[in-house]
Amino acid sequence: MEVSVVLVLFFFTFLFFVQSINCSGFTPVDVFLIDCGGSNPVEVDGSRVFRPDNSFRNVKLSPSSGIVVSGDVINGLSNSALYSSVRIFEKTSVYVIGTKQIGRHWLRLHFFPVQNTRYSLKSAVFSVMANGITLHRFSFSKSSQNSPVMKEYVIEIGDSGLELKFSPSNGSVAFVNGIEVVALPDTNFPSGVVPVPFGPEVEIPKRVAFETVYRINMGGPVLTPKNDSMWRTWETDQAYLISAASANNVSVNPNLIKYIDGVSAEIAPNSVYATAQEMAEANVTDQRFNISWRFDVDEGFTYFIRLHFCDIVSTVLNNLIFNVYINKQSALTSFDISSKTMVLSAAYYADFVTNVSMGSNRILVQVGPPDFRNLPTNAILNGLEIMKMSNPCGSLVGNLCEIRKKSKFPRRKLVALAISSAVVFAVLVFVVAALLLRLHRPKKPKRCPSTWFSLPTNVGNSDSKVSICSLASTAQSHGLGRVLSFAEIREATKNFDESLVIGVGGFGKVYKGVLENGVMVAVKRGNPGSRQGLTEFRTEILMLSRLRHRHLVSLIGYCEEQNEMILVYEFMAGGPLRKHLYGSNLPSLSWKQRLEICIGAAKGLHYLHTGASDTIIHRDVKTTNILLDENFTAKVADFGLSKLGPTLDQTHVSTAVKGSFGYLDPEYFRRQQLTEKSDVYSFGVVLMEILCARPAINPALPREQVNIAEWGMYWQKRGQLQRIIDSNLVGLINIDSLRKFGETAEKCLAEHGVERPTMGDVLWNLEYALQLQEASIQNDSSDNSAKHIPEIPGWIPQVESVDTDRYDIVSDQVASDATTTSDVFSQIMDPRGR
Ligand SMILES: *[C@@H]1O[C@H](CO)[C@@H](O)[C@H](O)[C@H]1NC(C)=O
Ligand SMILES: *[C@@H]1O[C@H](CO)[C@@H](O)[C@H](O)[C@H]1NC(C)=O
Ligand SMILES: *[C@@H]1O[C@H](CO)[C@@H](O)[C@H](O)[C@H]1NC(C)=O
Ligand SMILES: *[C@@H]1O[C@H](CO)[C@@H](O)[C@H](O)[C@H]1NC(C)=O
Ligand SMILES: *[C@@H]1O[C@H](CO)[C@@H](O)[C@H](O)[C@H]1NC(C)=O
Ligand SMILES: *[C@@H]1O[C@H](CO)[C@@H](O)[C@H](O)[C@H]1NC(C)=O
């Protein structure tokens, strides 16, 4: 009996232990909650206890202990216990707080001018410095209201602790009511941030201090320190919204918010992500406006801006795509939260820095619909933090940081110095030039130790930083994809001449170019400075560097210099297959040409699945990713989403669903298990698209026709596929060839992967369909009664009913542009541009 009780107890203790390990969030090493001048512990925000400053072993005050004044507890003032006592300094005094953790800490200072007979605290003027950084020049008199002031900072603290200095101006006094010092997770602030306007990543050195100027819970209530594991306060956004009518607040149960991929409650509590402002009347088609918030800030400082997003408004992935602007400059373009999180209701944040120049004293944050119009127009923002960064003089106050070095030299000496330095400079340039010339002669790329080379086994998914050197050596060991210098690429594209742009997309622009050796290339350049799509970029290099096949687009080289992500491919003069099917004025392809293109693409995919040492799953098979060269040879492109397939002991790879609408294998979508049969399904959609010359998804059509896979299967199962084929093919397809083709597509589109054929089988069937067609043509010349499909009178070709301009808009292409950053290349290879 007793034994079992003990066992049960033990079991529960164990459970509790396990649970507390699992659920334990971040526990700060340093927590100093100091009530300055207090005599008893006081409870603040109903959640924390501040202790008197003289009760801490690790908090020292020098040289004077100042004067303690206690006032009345003021009714109606929250936390009035903390504000009822204050420590006043008549001369400069320093708190030294012995923190344990080295790194960034929250520093919060609480001020309230306690009523007393000796000092007029309301007119006190003083400054506060922390570890040498000027935080604040305090002058309470300006704020007429008799309310407490809380200032929050983030400051780096080394091993000698925090030195907090209060310096009264002459004749005045300094004072403080409460001090909080709390360690924060290392990961809360990045070491480098993308600036707006776009440029190379800006480094944020540790010594930079931040001051929180705004922390907003969009569309939600005020959150008090009690609601936040880091004891932050979040305001509402109403006061900053430029047009209240432009936004609707939305909210969900905070428990529904998911934290994934390094985002945690220490970044922002779930109550922030659970509310948002969205565009008012977002359901009205084609709303074109931004939601704008305006924040007054101090000019001449750099601000750190963190935007919190969580898609709590969508019901499906990839449906909410919008733009974000900071001070009217693009911060996020065609931003799709779900492409980052892969699930709805998941927390995500993005950081930026921006300079607020002299003469300007506001930060304008805007969210609005993307530039293309086929999607539901909506945009959201869940939370926003704006933090001022200390300037190079180590100050968070003052207008100008002038590090002016007074010239100590008289003029004549300066001239002499200038001349002599010019001479030295000229000599140096000469020497360097000579050296460079010598070095350049044997054009050998930098070698890496061969041990560096190891291919990540899970390329598509891994965010692992593959060093450029390892990539280079992979590429070289295969004799493929050389590293090109930025200068070479710039030359090839005439310094990225806009007239050479053959396409634009989420990833960036694609230029036509000519290399030094005369080879025509397509140059895909990621948005400069943006590291978005880095994973896809590297996947593409890794994949293409190990593959070479007549039916795969080859990678000629790449460049990852100066924050650039550039891929250089062979130029495909014919552009994407899709352009030849619909939505352009290109001549219609014959059935034979179409079959040959299908066969080419099938060969490329078959090689991917079986030819290389590992199975490779393309994951984004579609008509824009099949490119044609000048002879209409089909090549499969865009490996940004590719993954190595299951190894022998696995049957599938588990992965987040990626790909393009209309082409996605339903089984993969349901079970998130990827096999090469998912490519087979997508290829089945491609076959239907080629036969019917219409987009995979065309929302403009009646409901039952929207999805070509469903519509095609409907007629195939009735044996009447000929009713929906491209009108240009009517009367020109041999009926047996069509039957074979239809059966092949049907098998590819089977519900379950195991029922679908391999690419090898598909290839064989397509070749057979081609033979049937060829044979019929030969028969034709002798025998006119060939078994061609007769024209069916009275039918309505689906394709003609949609005008060409709308094609590009309503098609899946636009949606997928925004969803995967990687598919830009393929669809824009049309040399004529759009
Ligand atoms: C502080 O004292 C100095 C000299 O004692 C004086 O020049 C200055 O004007 C005073 N500043 C203020 C703000 O009173
Ligand atoms: C802001 O301005 C400073 C000085 O002009 C410059 O050094 C810094 O790079 C700028 N930062 C950004 C984010 O533009
Ligand atoms: C949400 O909007 C409604 C009506 O527009 C308003 O009454 C309410 O105060 C808002 N809630 C928040 C938290 O802003
Ligand atoms: C914040 O905390 C208070 C007190 O615990 C609670 O009543 C309130 O519901 C919380 N608010 C949110 C949005 O979580
Ligand atoms: C759009 O929203 C408005 C109010 O927000 C509502 O009255 C209207 O019924 C909605 N329209 C549709 C089509 O959902
Ligand atoms: C949103 O704001 C940006 C920058 O201020 C502007 O360029 C864009 O045209 C605006 N969009 C709409 C739809 O008004």
Q: State the average pLDDT for the chain.
A: 78
* Contact (Cβ atoms closer than 8 angstroms) between residue 617 and residue 643: yes
**Same-domain check for residues 466 and 500:** yes
Q: Is there an atom of ligand 6 within 6 Å of 366 CB?
A: yes
Identify whether 620 is a catalytic site residue: yes
Q: Is there an atom of ligand 6 within 6 Å of 286 CB?
A: no
**Same-domain check for residues 589 and 694:** yes
**Same-domain check for residues 554 and 651:** no
**Same-domain check for residues 493 and 351:** no
**Same-domain check for residues 108 and 164:** yes
Q: How many Cα atoms sit within 13 Å of 758 on the Cβ side?
A: 8
pLDDT at 54 over 60: yes
231 alpha carbon, closest ligand: 4
Number of domains in the chain: 4
**What number is the average pLDDT over the span 435-455?**
36
Q: Is residue 22 part of a domain?
A: no
Written in H, E and C, the secondary structure of 733-764 is CEHHHHHHHHHHHHHHCCCCHHHCCCHHHHHH
Q: Is residue 9 part of a domain?
A: no
pTM score over 0.85: no
Model confidence band, residue 434 (pLDDT cutoffs 50, 70, 90): low
* Contact (Cβ atoms closer than 8 angstroms) between residue 662 and residue 707: yes
* 401 C-alpha to ligand 2 centroid (Å): 13
291 alpha carbon, closest ligand: 6
Model pLDDT, residue 17? 41
pLDDT tens per residue across span 279-297: 987 545 556 789 999 999 9
Q: Is residue 433 part of a domain?
A: no
Q: Is there an atom of ligand 4 within 6 Å of 545 CB?
A: no
Q: Is there an atom of ligand 2 within 6 Å of 353 CB?
A: yes
Model pLDDT, residue 449? 31
Q: Is there an atom of ligand 4 within 6 Å of 227 CB?
A: yes
**Same-domain check for residues 628 and 566:** no
Task: Measure the N-to-C terminal CA separation of the chain; round to a whole number of Å.
Answer: 82
**Same-domain check for residues 543 and 638:** no
| Contacts (Cβ under 8 Å, ≥6 apart) of 66 | 37, 87, 88, 89, 90, 93
Model confidence band, residue 674 (pLDDT cutoffs 50, 70, 90): confident
**Same-domain check for residues 564 and 580:** no
Rounded distance between C-alpha atoms, residue 632 and residue 573, angstroms:
9
Q: Is residue 640 part of a domain?
A: yes
* 355 C-alpha to ligand 2 centroid (Å): 6
**Same-domain check for residues 677 and 754:** yes
**Same-domain check for residues 159 and 72:** yes
pLDDT tens per residue across span 376-406: 788 999 999 999 999 988 899 876 665 544 4
pLDDT at 3 over 70: no
User: Is 444 labeled as ligand-binding?
Assistant: no
Range of the domain at 529: 452-570
Angle in degrees, 0-180, between the axes of helices 759-782 and 591-606, rounded to the nearest 10: 160
User: DSSP letters along 619-631, please?
Assistant: S--SGGGEEE-TT
**Same-domain check for residues 590 and 558:** no
**What number is the average pLDDT over the span 570-582?**
90
Nearest CA to 726 among 698, 756, 695? 695
**Same-domain check for residues 661 and 743:** yes
pLDDT tens per residue across span 761-813: 999 999 999 998 988 877 765 544 444 544 433 333 333 222 222 222 222 33
Model pLDDT, residue 450? 28
**Last residue in a domain, options 389, 419, 442:** 389
pLDDT tens per residue across span 207-250: 899 999 999 999 999 999 989 989 999 999 999 998 888 899 99
Residue 653, both tokens: 């790879």
pLDDT tens per residue across span 636-668: 988 766 766 655 445 555 555 666 778 888 888
* 531 C-alpha to ligand 2 centroid (Å): 19
- 3-class SS of residue 258: strand
Ligand 3 neighbours by CB, cut-off 6 Å: 219-221, 236, 249
Ligand 5 neighbours by CB, cut-off 6 Å: 281, 283
Q: Is there an atom of ligand 2 within 6 Å of 355 CB?
A: yes
Q: Is residue 580 part of a domain?
A: yes
Q: Is residue 795 part of a domain?
A: no
* 300 C-alpha to ligand 2 centroid (Å): 10
Q: Is residue 179 part of a domain?
A: yes
* 736 C-alpha to ligand 5 centroid (Å): 52
430 or 727, which is more confident: 727
The domain spanning residue 741 has which CATH number? 1.10.510.10
Model pLDDT, residue 108? 96
User: Which entry of 620, 665, 808, 830 is annotated as an active-site residue?
Assistant: 620
The domain spanning residue 134 has which CATH number? 2.60.120.430
Q: Is residue 305 part of a domain?
A: yes
The domain spanning residue 459 has which CATH number? 3.30.200.20
Model pLDDT, residue 201? 85
Q: Is there an atom of ligand 6 within 6 Å of 406 CB?
A: no
Residue of 249, 250, 251, 275 best suited for mutating to test ligand 3, as the one with most atoms within 8 Å of CB: 249
Nearest CA to 200 among 395, 462, 486? 486
